[in-house]
Amino acid sequence: MEAITSHPAHVVLTFLVAGMVKGVTGLGLPTVSVGLLGLVMPPPLAAGLIVVPSFVTNLWQGVAGGSTLALLARLWPMLSAIVAGVVVGAAWFPGAGAGATTLALGLALLAYAASGLLPLRPVTMGKRAEGWLAPGAGLATGLVTAGTGVFVMPSVPFLQALGLKRDALVQALGLVFTVATVALAAALAREGTLGGELALFSFLALAPASAGMAFGQWLRPRVSAVLFRRCFFATLLLLGAHLAVTGLRRLA
């Protein structure tokens, strides 16, 4: 906990910024939080700290809409595989050192930033492809979640390929991130990482995250969505590169 108590301003500012990004774009709170917190603490500790803010904001996003049951019926193979991936990853990654987890986090951020910055045409998959790709995408997302605390890869590109309308996509992201958060919290609690003190700090982090999200929602109609997303992904690219280099140095 020393990494948290030694950097209170960094932690508060991280959740304010991450909440603002989520308020503007509808996603990014766990990704930005873990990325920025990873600058001053090990990724597993950062992952425990984001549990409450991530769960509350993503649960609200996941149930706010009229498509919850339909999306659950469609996404359950992926959601189940995410849980399985987190369980498997939680058994594999606890022995990894700070260098390995920091490198993994950096690579995950680099992959997500590249997916947002590269001029790739969105691909829409058919029902048959969705049926056999969903478990694989869920399992991979669960493994990445267990190792880094980041839920976005490859879940976001997969959901974008389903051809969902904007509101349904935002709601689907909320459902996927909620399940990933709950699975991650259970894995961290089982490993003894998410103890009482860290859980308290995570609950306290909800306040700046909510404030940042409210500001982001106010800011959303007042900024260029395209420019904001470009700045967001460019920042993630730099952050991911820094963390990857830091992880490599620790491994050397």
Q: Domains in the chain: how many in total? A: 1
| Mean predicted confidence (pLDDT) in 207-228 | 86
Cβ atoms of 61 and 173 closer than 8 Å: yes
Measure the CA dihedral 214/25/233/129, to 10°.
150
| Mean predicted confidence (pLDDT) in 102-106 | 80
pLDDT tens across 137-183, in order?
999 999 888 877 788 888 888 888 888 887 788 888 888 988 998 99
Confidence class of residue 121 from pLDDT cuts 50, 70 and 90?
low
Cβ atoms of 123 and 163 closer than 8 Å: no
Tell me, what's the pLDDT at 131?
Answer: 84
What number of H helices and E strands is found in the chain? 13, 0
Confidence class of residue 204 from pLDDT cuts 50, 70 and 90?
very high
Residue 135 in this model has a pLDDT that exceeds 90: yes
Residue 18 in this model has a pLDDT that exceeds 70: yes
Mean pLDDT of the chain: 83
The domain in which residue 9 lies consists of 2-251
What phi, psi does 43 have (nearest 5°)? -50, -40
114-133 burial string, b = 16+ CB within 10 Å, else e? ebbeeeeeeeeeeeeebeeb
Residue 95 in this model has a pLDDT that exceeds 60: no
User: Structure tokens of 213?
Assistant: 């999200």
More confident residue, 80 or 24: 80
Does residue 162 sit in helix, strand or coil? coil
User: Structure tokens of 16?
Assistant: 């304010």
Side-chain half-sphere CA neighbours of 250 within 13 A: 17
> d(Cα 214, Cα 197) in Å, to the nearest integer?
27
Residue 198 in this model has a pLDDT that exceeds 90: no
Tell me, what's the pLDDT at 252?
Answer: 65
pTM: 0.80
State how far the alpha carbon of 132 is from the alpha carbons of 83, 176, 245, in Å.
17, 18, 35
Peptide bond preceding 154 in cis form (omega within 30 of 0): yes
- In this structure, how many other beta carbons lie within 10 angstroms of the beta carbon of residue 251? 12
Confidence class of residue 65 from pLDDT cuts 50, 70 and 90?
low
Cβ atoms of 40 and 7 closer than 8 Å: yes
Tell me, what's the pLDDT at 84?
Answer: 94
